[in-house]
Chain A
């Protein structure tokens, strides 16, 4: 089992839709988790940090479930500009290094 697993998608949704991604991780004692977005052939950029049980920023909501070891990202009222790959990031290991999921691809259709 991979340490951080994401459904690769692709998720194709119409504009205005609500879409949710899940990310499961093997084990972490960390207090912080992250969602990054990556546009095609570009560098990853921080979307949200997730502390304690969750975080909300406008149309984006991230939730953390430690008991079940998963993080979710909810996007409401999807925009065309939300089309990207979303990377789940979990601190794992004794060196507390960040481990990146392979990403979930989202395409928002007009």
Chain B
């Protein structure tokens, strides 16, 4: 299995609070992604990174920001969490192009009350 960890694995927070999720990889892959998964919607791309300090928006980026200061770490921040951001968040990595095989972390289950 690819070396990808996510923290925390579970989090319950209140509306309006900031939340940061961390993705850490040991594969030295260039590309990293954040997805959210909700029933009936499948996996939807929030943001992705194609190198240190290089990021771009995905399909559902509103309300989220990201940062990548090191190859191995990709952070997802919810500046002011809302109940609509209750979801399961997956980080993924790929070695080269966006369409190469992506390997997923174990996920973070976030509940916003």
Binding site for B on A (CB under 8 A): 4, 30, 32, 34, 42-46, 49, 87, 91, 95-98, 100-103
Contact = CB atoms under 8 A, between A and B. Distances in A.
A103 B42 contact: yes
Given A43-B90, A43-B104, A43-B105, A97 B98 contact: yes
A30 B56 CA distance: 21
Contact of A46 (B35, B99, B103): B103
Contacts of B41: 102
B105 A100 contact: no
Given A4-B42, A43-B104, A97-B48, 15 more contacts: A42-B107, A43-B90, A43-B105, A43-B106, A44-B90, A46-B101, A46-B102, A87-B42, A87-B43, A95-B98, A97-B99, A98-B102, A100-B42, A102-B41, A103-B42
B45 interface: yes
Contacts of A97: 45, 48, 58, 98-99
A109 B35 CA distance: 32
Interface residues of B, number: 21
Contact of B104 (A32, A44, A95): A44
Q: Chain A interface mostly helix, strand, loop or mixed?
A: strand
Interface in B29-75: 35, 40-45, 48, 56, 58
B103 A102 contact: no
Given A42-B106, A97-B45, A97-B58, A34 B101 contact: yes
B15 to A, nearest CB: 25
A91 B42 contact: no
